[in-house]
Structure 1
Amino acid sequence: MVGFAKTAVGGVGSLAVVLFAVVLPARESTGALLPLLIAGDLVAVALYRRHGSARELVRLLPGVAPGLLLGAWFVARVDDTAMTLTIGAVLVVMGAVQIGLRLNRRHQDLPEPPAVHPVWTAAIGAVAGFATMTANAAGPVMALYLIMAGLPMLRILGTGAWFFLVVNLLKVPLSTSLDLISRSSLLLDACLIPAMLLGAFAGARIVRGWHQRQFELATLAMSIVAAGLLIASA
């Protein structure tokens, strides 16, 4: 699921978050999953590095740092239930926004989505930083934002690949300081890398046969499913 999320539909990654939280305590599961996510980011960058949008990265990254710091503070002080419910609520809101935009575009017969306001972009960067620090659940948030920004499918995958490689590397010292990464979790990640690679290359192969509309609908559907599972698991 992690591999498939990195190269195809980001919402699938939240299903992996839920499964990790079932096997491990939710708080510890966020750190245990992080090295596997970074390995997946490296694969995604290798596959889609030429398709990234430097403009969107520059717009998004300034808002990420406050979100990461707020997320680290949140993880240190809030219990698993509150953390899970918060991330689920974020995904529900983003899904509702995307559904609203799609209905509005259809009603007005607009060929392209409206430009995303810089304040909204900074806020999404902060939400993504918070969501990824607290529950590794920013994949759907980012995918939905990039769809709203009007990026085509491969540009979404390339931009997301670069974004999460940078952000997940920034999370390593914070997760280490919170004792969320251990030798045993690193060993678990090493054992799971072959399965991650399988999912990554399967996702890359499948998604290249999709049209933009199929990709957007799959992303939206999986984001909503992931939000429901996160809320239910709390």
Structure 2
Amino acid sequence: MTELPSDPAAWALLAIAAALVGFSKTGINGTSSLAILLFAIVLPAKESTGALLPVLILADLFAIRFYSRHVEWRVLGRLAPWVVAGTAIGAVALWFADDSIMRVLIGAILLAMLALQLWNKLRPRFAGVQSDEPKAPTGLARRSAAAGAGIAAGATTMMANAAGPVMVLYLTLSGFSKLRFLGTMAWFFFAVNLFKVPISVGLGLIDWYTLLMALLLIPAVAVGALAGRALVHRIDQKQFEIATLVLSAVGAALLILSASAG
């Protein structure tokens, strides 16, 4: 990034995106997809992945402060080597992709992850399952799930900061309670995002302007994080998730169409 945005409308969109990131980290996961799209609208798509990363780390710190006592360290240890492998794959893709390709990649990744979330919600109905309680994988299934989720999360978070839906699916299928889910997500993404920083710097995606932008967006992140914590137990989660899925799907499709038109 060679300079900060000068348009007040651009800063308004960035502030909304930062608040959505904070809300997603401490409240209902899924609004971060909208933040990804807003950053990609204001900034060149490839640069947006680096610009969003420090904002995500700031939001991770709020989530750790609120939910760190509920982390499941064994799950994080099981995922770690696979996430490293997936991140390397994503870094290679970023090195060779130009801006229009990145827009298509980000849109496609979001659509795929949203479809995965939607399938996870609808699958019990199609299968005739009466219980809403997920069954935790065991043995080989657990190791295979960790490998697949780790590689997918590493690749998608490096390319588009969009690993949230992967981890939502993995932790939901593992039978996590709400607090264990939030605490484990907080530490997972804090560690992964810190790991991505030197890679993003090496790829030229993070510089002093990027860090300054993140500092200026701290108030918006804080507002979103506090709102997420306050509302997580007080809203109709099912309706909110449906709205988020629809809006994210529309945004991802528009991102792909804009790249094709360009």
Provide TM-score, normalisation by structure 1: 0.89
> Partners in 2 of 1:145 and 1:219 — Cα distance?
17
In structure 1, the partner of 2:130 is: 109
In structure 1, the partner of 2:197 is: 172
In structure 2, the partner of 1:140 is: 165
Deviation (angstroms), 1:110: 3.2
Question: Does 2:97 correspond to 1:78?
Answer: yes
Q: Which amino acid aligns with 1:110?
A: S
* Counterpart selection for 1:185 from 210, 228, 248: 210
Indicate how the Cα distance of structure 1 residues 37 and 174 shifts in structure 2: closer, same or farther if over 3 A, else same. Answer: same
Indicate how the Cα distance of structure 1 residues 114 and 82 shifts in structure 2: closer, same or farther if over 3 A, else same. Answer: farther
Question: Does 2:150 correspond to 1:125?
Answer: yes
Is the CA contact (8 Å cut-off) linking 2:86 and 2:154 kept in structure 1? yes
In structure 2, the partner of 1:153 is: 178
Structure 2: where are the runs of 5+ without partners?
1-19, 257-262
The C-alpha deviation readout for 1:29-68, integer Å capped at 9, x for no partner, is 1111111111110110010001222232122222100111
Indicate how the Cα distance of structure 1 residues 101 and 22 shifts in structure 2: closer, same or farther if over 3 A, else same. Answer: closer
In structure 2, the partner of 1:233 is: 255
Deviation (angstroms), 1:142: 1.5
Indicate how the Cα distance of structure 1 residues 141 and 17 shifts in structure 2: closer, same or farther if over 3 A, else same. Answer: same
Deviation (angstroms), 1:87: 4.0
Is the CA contact (8 Å cut-off) linking 1:91 and 1:224 kept in structure 2? no
Is the CA contact (8 Å cut-off) linking 1:98 and 1:148 kept in structure 2? no
Q: Which amino acid aligns with 2:229?
A: A
Structure 1: where are the runs of 5+ without partners?
none
Deviation (angstroms), 1:98: 4.1
Provide TM-score, normalisation by structure 2: 0.80
Deviation (angstroms), 1:223: 4.3
Is the CA contact (8 Å cut-off) linking 2:60 and 2:186 kept in structure 1? yes
In structure 1, the partner of 2:55 is: 36
DSSP 3-state at the match of 2:82? helix
Indicate how the Cα distance of structure 1 residues 104 and 136 shifts in structure 2: closer, same or farther if over 3 A, else same. Answer: closer
**Aligned pairs, how many?**
231
Deviation (angstroms), 1:177: 0.2
* Counterpart selection for 2:226 from 197, 201, 219: 201
Of all paired residues, the percent bearing the same amino acid is 46
